[in-house]
């Protein structure tokens, strides 16, 4: 079943590694909320199915929204959609926002899952990242969320930073276990173009990220999480059984979703849309709009997915998840795709980096370290549509 993603493009300060779309000025917050609600009303027909499995407030920093601002979204969504009983409703939150009062206020909304951007429980790391919170606030946010009764909880942790030694990394994971949180998303520090981090490395202000160190910390992460009873259901995501993220899993399983807000993406099985990544431009387009979405030229770009693109996306996400790549799915696209995949995954099967169980091929722990390289080895390059022949 489908989901809705709502992008709240504001942050208190810019983290040095971040290349997401956001503004550090809250000046046009009200205009932005009205514009997103307008986009919802114009594009509610995008999803054929009217029962939602998930709503996800991402950003940016959605925890900057007040209870009443959040309720405006729920009221508006309720005009066009129904929520499946038990639907997952996630709000990304920064630790510095999660005061006891804020967490209590969130309990009065339909939000039932908090995704808290902890990143590290060490101040040196947090200063390096230019996060707005401290290690003390990271711990306090979890304590407040737990005492308010939030059982749907996930946190983010970053490994591989120059300030994160092995000892600090192991402590981060120990602290995570100590809180009994059911879900963890953990990513290597990556240096994205046009970020402060990229500039600091280029100018020698900070040392470059060491891939070898990140790989060792990732291996430690996988071993600890497996030993702790967590399932690695995606390359960067670990959950207790029954606690997989519904919304993110729907992306990986190719379910349709509607993305609202500047820079948000939408997917309907046949095409993808990318909303304009400019707050002022987005507001301007929506303020002047009425009627059908076709009347808003410039709101989003559309890519119609060729069979080859769908193949590439499917094998990439399949190899990153425990659901793997199902050969019958490739056969449905075209028999030649199955042959192409089998031929190119063979060296990784032989090397023990991938494994086949029945009709499904997935990566082993050794393969997960090389996931991007393996995916690119089985990708199709160039224009290879349904008429593709091996
Ligand atoms: S809070 Fe999140 S979205 Fe905002 S700058 Fe930091 S990493 Fe980026």
Q: For residue 242, what is the domain's CATH number?
A: 3.80.30.20
**Is 272 a domain residue?**
no
Q: How many domains does the chain have?
A: 2
Q: How confident is the model over 93-125, as pLDDT tens digits?
A: 999 999 999 999 999 999 999 999 999 999 999
Which residue among 10, 20, 97 has the greatest number of ligand 1 atoms within 8 angstroms of its CB, and so is best to mutate?
A: 20
Q: Is residue 250 within 6 Å of ligand 1 at its C-beta?
A: no
Q: Are both 197 and 320 inside the same structural domain?
A: no
Q: How far apart are CA 362 and CA 315, in angstroms?
A: 10
Q: How far apart are CA 363 and CA 370, in angstroms?
A: 9
Distance 191 CA to ligand 1 centre (A): 14
Q: Are both 148 and 234 inside the same structural domain?
A: yes
- Residue among 125, 134, 54 at smallest CA distance from 94: 134
Q: Is residue 93 within 6 Å of ligand 1 at its C-beta?
A: no
Q: Are both 221 and 156 inside the same structural domain?
A: yes
Residue 14 Cα: closest atom of ligand 1: 5
* pLDDT per residue of the chain (390 residues) written in tens, 0 to 9: 899 999 999 999 999 999 998 999 999 999 999 999 999 999 999 999 999 999 999 999 999 999 999 999 999 999 999 999 999 999 999 999 999 999 999 999 999 999 999 999 999 999 999 999 999 999 999 999 999 999 999 999 999 999 999 999 999 999 999 999 999 999 999 999 999 999 999 999 999 999 999 999 999 999 999 999 999 999 999 999 999 999 999 999 999 999 999 999 999 988 999 999 999 999 999 987 776 555 688 899 999 999 899 999 999 999 999 999 999 999 998 889 999 999 999 999 999 999 999 999 999 999 999 999 999 999 998 655 434 433
- Tokens 């950003």, located at residue: 59
**Is 298 a domain residue?**
no
Q: Is residue 118 within 6 Å of ligand 1 at its C-beta?
A: no
Distance 118 CA to ligand 1 centre (A): 11
Q: Are both 186 and 311 inside the same structural domain?
A: no
**Is 316 a domain residue?**
yes
Question: Could you give phi then psi for residue 108, rounded to 5 degrees?
Answer: -90, 5
Q: How far apart are CA 374 and CA 232, in angstroms?
A: 18
Distance 59 CA to ligand 1 centre (A): 7
Q: How confident is the model over 270-320, as pLDDT tens digits?
A: 899 999 999 999 999 998 777 655 568 889 999 999 989 999 999 999 999
**Is 361 a domain residue?**
yes
Helical residues (DSSP H) of the chain, grouped into ranges: 29-43, 67-80, 100-107, 123-129, 135-147, 166-179, 196-202, 211-227, 246-252, 279-287, 307-320, 327-333, 335-350, 365-368, 371-378
**Is 264 a domain residue?**
no
Q: Is residue 196 within 6 Å of ligand 1 at its C-beta?
A: no
**21-56 as b/e: b if 16+ CB within 10 A:** bbbeeeebbebbbebbbbbbebbbebbeeeebbbbb
* 311: CATH: 1.10.10.920
Secondary structure (3-state) at 293: helix
Q: Whose CA is nearest to atom 2 of ligand 1?
A: 60
Distance 13 CA to ligand 1 centre (A): 8
Q: Whose CA is nearest to atom 6 of ligand 1?
A: 15
Residue 18 Cα: closest atom of ligand 1: 8
Q: Are both 15 and 99 inside the same structural domain?
A: yes
Maximum Cα–Cα distance for the chain, whole Å?
A: 61
> Counting Cβ atoms within 10 Å, is residue 68 exposed (0-12), middle (13-18) or buried (19+)?
exposed
Q: Are both 92 and 221 inside the same structural domain?
A: yes
Neighbours of 193 (CB within 10 A): 7
Q: Are both 137 and 231 inside the same structural domain?
A: yes
Distance 129 CA to ligand 1 centre (A): 10
**Is 284 a domain residue?**
no
Q: Is residue 64 within 6 Å of ligand 1 at its C-beta?
A: no
**Is 292 a domain residue?**
no
Distance 199 CA to ligand 1 centre (A): 17
Q: Are both 92 and 164 inside the same structural domain?
A: yes
**Is 165 a domain residue?**
yes
For residue 359, give its domain range: 307-378
Q: Are both 246 and 348 inside the same structural domain?
A: no
């Amino acid at each position: 079943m489908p989901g809705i993603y709502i992008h709240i493009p504001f942050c208190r300060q810019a983290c040095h590694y971040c290349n997401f779309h956001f503004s550090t000025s809250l000046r046009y917050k009200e205009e932005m909320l009205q514009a997103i609600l307008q986009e919802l009303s114009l594009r509610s027909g995008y999803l054929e199915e009217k029962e939602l499995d998930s709503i996800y407030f991402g950003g940016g920093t959605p925890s900057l929204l007040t209870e009443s601002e959040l309720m405006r979204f729920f009221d508006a969504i309720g005009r066009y959609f129904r929520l499946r009983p038990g639907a997952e409703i996630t709000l990304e939150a920064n630790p510095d926002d999660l005061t006891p009062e804020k967490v209590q206020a969130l309990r009065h909304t339909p939000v039932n899952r908090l995704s808290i951007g902890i990143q590290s429980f060490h101040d040196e790391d947090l200063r390096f990242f230019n996060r707005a919170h401290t290690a003390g606030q990271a711990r306090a946010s979890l304590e407040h969320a737990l005492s308010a009764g939030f059982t749907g909880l996930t946190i983010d942790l970053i490994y591989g930073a120059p300030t994160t030694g092995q000892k600090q990394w192991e402590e981060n994971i120990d602290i995570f276990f100590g809180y009994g949180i059911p879900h963890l998303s953990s990513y290597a520090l990556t240096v994205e173009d046009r970020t402060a981090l990229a500039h600091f490395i280029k100018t020698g202000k900070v040392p470059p990220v060491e891939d070898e160190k990140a790989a060792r910390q990732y291996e430690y992460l996988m071993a600890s999480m497996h030993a702790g009873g967590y399932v690695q259901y995606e390359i960067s995501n670990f959950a207790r059984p029954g606690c997989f993220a519904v919304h993110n899993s729907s992306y990986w399983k190719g379910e349709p979703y509607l993305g609202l807000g500047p820079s948000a993406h939408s997917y309907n099985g046949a095409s993808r849309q990318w909303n304009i990544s400019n707050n002022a431009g987005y507001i301007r387009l929506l303020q002047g709009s009425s009627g059908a979405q076709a009347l808003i030229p410039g709101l989003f770009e559309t890519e119609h997915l060729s069979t080859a693109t769908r193949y590439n996306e499917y094998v990439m996400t399949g190899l990153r998840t425990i659901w793997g790549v199902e050969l019958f799915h490739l056969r449905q696209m075209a028999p030649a795709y199955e042959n192409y995949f089998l031929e190119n995954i063979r060296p990784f099967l032989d090397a023990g980096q991938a494994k086949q169980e029945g009709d499904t091929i997935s990566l082993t722990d050794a393969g997960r370290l090389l996931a991007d390289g393996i995916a690119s080895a089985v990708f199709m390059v160039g224009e290879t549509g349904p008429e593709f022949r091996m």
